[in-house]
Amino acid sequence: MPPPPLPKTPYTSCYCEENIYLLAQAFLGNPDVSRHWEIFVVFISNSSKSVALWNQKRALEQDLPVVWDYHVVLLLGPREEFQHPTRDMTRTATASVDAEDKSNKVWIYDCDTRLPLPCVLEDYMFSTFMDVPPHYERIIPGDVFLKQFASDRSHMVSVLTPFDAHMPQYFKLVAEDDGAVSQASDQAWTDLKYMAPPPSYEPIRGTSAVEKGVVNNLMSSFVDMASSERTFGHVIDKAAMSTRM
């Protein structure tokens, strides 16, 4: 069967992790989708937090990339491929299938791309990335992401001091990884702003995150490409993404 069309879920520019959370939630809650497709959330980043993506809607010109500190997309693969006993949950075979057989393709849903939505994985990788600089993907099963993810949006908070309040284009980001917005010792902050308008709904916290008392694990558990006790999913590089999926 062909991949499902993009459902009508809230979209907020510059909050890709929340857009994809709501998309994964919609797909997992739809039996017609979850019965036939395996759903994964993919975080794209690197150690320098600078990943160049082409064909993005926010590009200043059509042939220029947008450089994000990280980006998030949804990956949809045929369930029978992911459940094959010789494969793990981050692999499927696409090279040998009929190019016209959409039921055996792996698809990418990127709410910020100019490419078709959804887009075949191989086409998306070819048209979006040129390894400037290299990047990695953290692949998380959709149900795990929905339970474990939490963000208080503090990574999008900018704070102005009296010194630079007259230059609003210069923001000082003070959001820390634990989600608490740090304060200057002299409490000199005069204005609190977001770098991009936040969604109108409340910040997202998965059921497991709530049970654990986690308020924010966006950077430490998902964007960070190093493996640790706090991270979820598996990390692969671009070459592995292109050849294994």
Active site residues: 16, 71, 110
Give 136's DSSP letter.
Answer: E
CB 237 within 8 A of CB 86: no
- Burial status of residue 143 (CB atoms within 10 A of its CB: 0-12, 13-18, 19 or more): middle
Q: Is the dihedral of CA 174, 178, 179, 184 positive or negative?
A: negative
CB neighbour list of residue 127: distance below 8 Å, 6 or more residues apart: 54, 55, 115, 119
Provide the H-helix boundaries in the chain: 16-28, 31-34, 79-82, 121-128, 142-148, 207-212, 238-244
- Residue 133 structure tokens: 């600089």
